[in-house]
Structure 1
């Protein structure tokens, strides 16, 4: 069967997420998604919490790891993966855990794209996020899609939603049964079709500025006074 999935979503458990798990799930139900992946930054707490919710939407646990070279999505894991390690080592850890590795926004200059620092990055992972809804122009998405096709890598689409309103803006059609194991295997096998629509520029800009301010606050404690 064909499942419509959003494979890149952040909740309030993420350091820059704005919406509760319950609101994310409710939105997914309202727009008819079959599955969502909870991929908070460097934590699986939100994913674990989501797994305990009563919903018809399939919850795929995951994490977006901040590697030394940039961000890496890992789907199908419920244990944390250390941040700050080289991406190659992080991928090896994820594989041992049985996770599916995906390069999110690999060529986005201000989004910690691994592909900008590691030329062979796309060859190392199971799949590539060829469509990410949080972009200003589509150049980076098109480059990711083009290189993924050249390498024969499966392409996925994700909203990268940091607010419930934008869940589903990026989606992936997956030929799989409604189980986590089936979805992960289908991604590995390339049984995916990715699509995307742009998150409103005003929202993207506001969220980016807020995220930058939070990072500055963590680095310079006096800013909090």
Structure 2
């Protein structure tokens, strides 16, 4: 792992879903220097624009994509930082990993082995050389889920990370990664992950953490019931669907729908 000058460090909340003035203010209060913004079903260009609009002198917002690979019934989430070209949802895991690798993106595994929305140990073994880090603590999870995630990271000797996985502004900063270096750009964050820079994984396991878990799980119920019904039945083709005209058929060979 790389060394750094004494006193240099950067706190990164590695995955948030919500971005507004309150999000940035909660990040500032928590001492977060960098937020990684990766909302569902938003195109990379839109994410970039919003990240730039909400970056401040004290909190930098870096755009990312959490790509939904596979089908609704068996979707595997993968977080990519440093993409230049758009990658849609609902493509095969192989197709997504190939696209990430081609762009030299940092590839992170959120909530491994969790329900039907995560990479399994078999997936991680297959793409071990592409993956840069595994999430070992997610405040939305129960202790057994986080213990399992730590075991998976250890088994494959992959670097750890954590995030608030915030869908609500007040969750931001409840857990973060502190890198022992300054990070002032998207490229530097990608480098920190890809070169396995020295870091501390920091999280609050007290009352604040359990309050975050309760409120975020309540939001999850909404997200996976009424909001999903709206998306499936009312919204039509998602802007990140591989069949959308925006992608010009480039992912037809790996699309699952």
Tell me which structure has the larger Cα radius of gyration: 2
Instruction: Give the Å deviation of 1:91.
Output: 1.6
Q: Is the 8 A contact 2:168 2:216 kept in 1?
A: no
Correspondence for 1:166: 171
Correspondence for 1:38: 37
Unaligned runs of 5+ in 2: 1-7, 235-257
Instruction: Give the Å deviation of 1:79.
Output: 4.4
- CA 119–8 in structure 1, closer or farther in 2 if over 3 Å, else same: closer
Instruction: Give the Å deviation of 1:127.
Output: 1.0
Q: Which has the higher contact order (CA 8 A, sep 6+)?
A: 2
SS for the counterpart of 2:147 is helix
SS for the counterpart of 1:5 is strand
Distance 2:136 2:103 in 1: 24
SS for the counterpart of 1:202 is helix
TM-score by length of 2: 0.74
Distance 1:176 1:208 in 2: 34
Q: Does 1:10 align with 2:17?
A: yes
Matches within 5 A, 1:185-224: 185-190=191-196, 191-197=198-204, 198=209, 200=211, 201-212=213-224, 213-221=226-234
Distance 1:96 1:153 in 2: 20
Correspondence for 2:28: 29
Instruction: Give the Å deviation of 1:93.
Output: 0.7
Q: Is the 8 A contact 2:140 2:217 kept in 1?
A: no
Unaligned runs of 5+ in 1: 12-19
Distance 1:166 1:188 in 2: 27
- CA 164–78 in structure 1, closer or farther in 2 if over 3 Å, else same: farther
Instruction: Give the Å deviation of 1:119.
Output: 5.7
Instruction: Give the Å deviation of 1:138.
Output: 1.7
- CA 77–24 in structure 1, closer or farther in 2 if over 3 Å, else same: farther
Q: Is the 8 A contact 1:28 1:168 kept in 2?
A: yes
Distance 1:192 1:88 in 2: 29
The number of residue pairs the alignment matches comes to 211
- CA 207–54 in structure 1, closer or farther in 2 if over 3 Å, else same: closer
Deviations 1:57-112 (A, max 9, x none): 122210111011410101123543111111222122122223211010012216x1
- CA 121–173 in structure 1, closer or farther in 2 if over 3 Å, else same: farther
Correspondence for 2:151: 146
